[in-house]
Amino acid sequence: MKYNRLNFYKDKVAINLLARDLENAIDIMEVLEGNGLVGLLSKDYDTATECVIAVKAYLKHMPNVSVGLGGGDPKQWAMAAEVASLTNPGHVNQTFTGAMYTEGLLKGRGCFDTVTNCMMYPTGVAGYVQISTGPVSDVNKKGIVDVETAVCMMKDLELPSIKFFNMQGLCHIEELKVLAKACVEHGIPIIEPTGGIDTDNVAQIVKVCVDAGVERVIPHIYSSIIDKDTKITNLKLVKQAYDNIKAILS
């Protein structure tokens, strides 16, 4: 798959962040030298139409938008899929159960250059992940499988990216190591660690993936760099995170 819509620092890492508004988003992308994605969360909008309007407005000023669920909320899967298929944003976050539907919807509407990720949860045990991340399966049953099975299922579905949520900072770093290794062995090109990531731990998390040989890494850094009062993503912290990542790739 070609990633012509996404820019990666040294063809390796792009940071996924949120922004309060379009002005904040433009400033973020400037700090990241274009090597990032600004997310718009479907949960923040009452209707898919409203979210589509927002995504299209952002796309006039940047090459991509990451359409998100909103705190990994599986109930948002259908809305995220619909918004992505109507905007071809470049990147969309999705549940394990909703990812293939999203891929089909995107391709059916001629959107061939948007990356769909596939959300898995850590389990607390290295080598195992939870793939029951949909709105019903997440609540009623815990579909825990070994990482080899999960990754091979993704290969069956031709999905390019794993979203590993919630990292809880470094709590699941050993699980990430095993998952990253499986991605390399089975040809999954992108891994997206998210949850509890900040300027202090992002480099260590990225390094685990890079050292394993993963082609590309998209760490999500959200609330830790957002001002609680203004809701503006702090550009100084964005630069700090970016510089820390640069340092491990030098």
Q: Are 163 and 117 in contact (CB under 8 A)?
A: yes
pLDDT for res 151: 97
**223: amino acid identity, one letter:** S
pLDDT for the residue numbered 8: 97
Which residues of the chain fall short of a pLDDT of 70? 1-3
Residues in contact with 182: Cβ distance below 8 Å, sequence separation at least 6, in sequence order: 147, 148, 150, 151, 188
| Distance of alpha carbon 226 from alpha carbon 214, whole angstroms | 28
Q: The domain 15-248: what is its CATH number?
A: 3.20.20.70
The string of pLDDT tens digits covering residues 26-67 is: 999 999 999 999 999 999 999 999 999 999 999 999 999 999
The domain limits of the chain are 15-248
State the Cα–Cα distance between residues 159 and 96, nearest whole angstrom: 10
* CA pair distance 161, 116, nearest whole angstrom: 7
pLDDT at 113: 92
CA 28, CA 40: separation in Å to the nearest integer? 14
**Per-residue pLDDT at 42:** 98
The dihedral through the CA atoms of 3, 72, 176, 145 has a sign that is negative
Nearest residue to 94 (alpha-carbon basis) of 63, 123, 67, 65? 67
